[in-house]
Structure 1
Amino acid sequence: MPTSRVITWEVSESKGIETAWTELGGDVLRARGRAVGTTPEPYWISYELDTGNRFVTRRLSVGVESAGGVRTLDLRHDGAGRWTANGERLPEVDGALDCDLGLCPLTNTMPVLRHGLHRAPGERELRMAWVSVPDLTVLPSRQTYTHLEPGRIRFVSGDFRSDIEFDDDGFVVDYPSLATRLRRSGSCG
């Protein structure tokens, strides 16, 4: 039976906030999220993410609204390593199993869960279909995830490096220089 969670992060990199409604069951993740950011320009974003078995991305649907207008992206993975964006082939990201939505801490969850890196030693170098926000350009990205201790993983991509804290379910708690999960401060009556 899937477990549902609502997670909100303060996203320091975009000077904004993001909330994700997640369903995690077995080795499948489904989520929908909304975010607002003010950097590099003010924008609203909404997304839906579906994975197949082993947390492999099947589809990421994204909509962005900014001063530049409205943009959408329908990013799909065929399960055999091939990707399309709005129906057009993306051979430059072939072989990637995951998408990585820029400025979004949620999309770090899939590779961490697949390889159990939040719980056990290991290191994985991965090719990702990285989506730039707010322009929604899809680019290949080499990323390395290294287990440091339970709940702590070093993330490296190019010259960027950050030691990220994950909870027991594989969701980001603290991603220095990007985002920090907000704690619930009480209940509404």
Structure 2
Amino acid sequence: MTDQHVLTWAVTESGGYETAWVTLSGTGLRARGRVLGLRPRPYWMTYELETGQGYVTRRLQVTAETPSATHRLDLRRDGGSWTADGKPLPEVAGALDCDLGLSPLTNAMPTLRHQLHTGPGRHDFLMAWVSVPDLTVRPSEQTYEHIGLTARGARIRYTSGDFSSDIEFSRDGLVLTYPGIGHLLRAD
């Protein structure tokens, strides 16, 4: 079964917006998106994301343009090894997911994989976190914990370092409200 979604979030942290065309098929996800941000400095960004089975990242291609530079990233995961623009990233070896900074979309992969939007669970993850707009990749330890079901889906507590937020997900496992980051404006 294939589900297609067009989602637009107001990203309050960046003072901008993100629109993503998302296809969920079996246990895989494909997405392409466009982002406009005003903070930390104005930027435009486009991305394409592809996962394999189990919502495990295969590839994230991103281009970010600021007034002073254009940054590109081709992030790939192959059998547990990661590369950025062809260069090995041993610091994120073993990670299953990428996490594109300030993007509500990439919180879906671990949530969907572990069905945290449908029932109890708590999982710790190592992520290949991508800083925006410079597109630097860093390791990030994160925890996702199912807090409870809501009228629209579920609430999941996201924690990374000193940051914590109770994110509301739809019944499809996509972000509706991410306190401190943004909220869904429209879904088709």
Shorter-chain TM-score range: over 0.9
In the alignment, the residues of structure 2 paired with residue 163 and residue 12 of structure 1 have an alpha-carbon distance, to the nearest angstrom, of: 16
Give the structure 1 partner of residue 88 of structure 2: 89
Match of 1:103 in 2: 102
Counterpart CA distance in 1 for 2:115 and 2:100 is 21
RMSD, aligned CA: 1.1
Q: 1:165 aligns with which of 168, 172, 175?
A: 168
Q: How does 1:47-126 map to 2 (within 5 A)?
A: 47-78=47-78, 80-126=79-125
Unaligned runs of 5+ in 1: 185-189
Q: Distance in 1 between matches of 2:81 and 2:119?
A: 30
Q: Secondary structure at the match of 2:54?
A: helix
Mapped to 2, the partners of 1:120 and 1:72 lie a distance apart of: 38
What is the SS of the residue equivalent to 1:183? strand
Shift of 1:69: 1.3
Counterpart in the other structure of 1:180:
183
Q: Distance in 1 between matches of 2:186 and 2:49?
A: 23
1:3 offset after TM fit, Å? 1.2
CA shift for structure 1 position 81: 1.1
Aligned match of 2:46: 46
CA deviation after TM superposition for structure 1 residue 77, in Å:
0.1
Give the partner amino acid of 2:54. R
Separation of aligned partners in 2, 1:25 and 1:152: 23
Residues 137-158 of structure 1, C-alpha deviations (whole Å, 9 max, x = no match): 0000000000000210000000
CA distance in 2, matches of 1:65, 1:183: 25
Q: What is the rounded CA distance, in whole Å, between the counterparts of 2:65 and 2:123 in structure 1?
A: 34
For 1:34 and 1:135, locate their aligned partners in 2 and report how far apart those are by CA, in whole Å: 16
SS of the residue 2:74 aligns to: strand
SS in 2 for 1:133: coil
Quote the residue 1:31 is aligned against: 31
Matched residue type, 1:106:
L
Structure 1 segments (4+ residues) deviating >6 Å: none
Give me the whole-angstrom Cα distance separating, in 1, the residues matched to 2:34 and 2:28.
20
Amino acid across the alignment from 1:120: G
Write the distance in 2 (CA, Å) between the matches of 1:5 and 1:141: 28
Identity of aligned residues (%): 60
Q: Which has the higher contact order (CA 8 A, sep 6+)?
A: 2
Per-residue CA distance 1:47-105 (angstroms, 9 max, x = gap):
00000000000000000010221110000000x21100000000001010000000000
> TM-score when scaled to structure 2?
0.96
Helix, strand or coil at the partner of 2:186: coil
Partner secondary structure for residue 54 of structure 1: helix
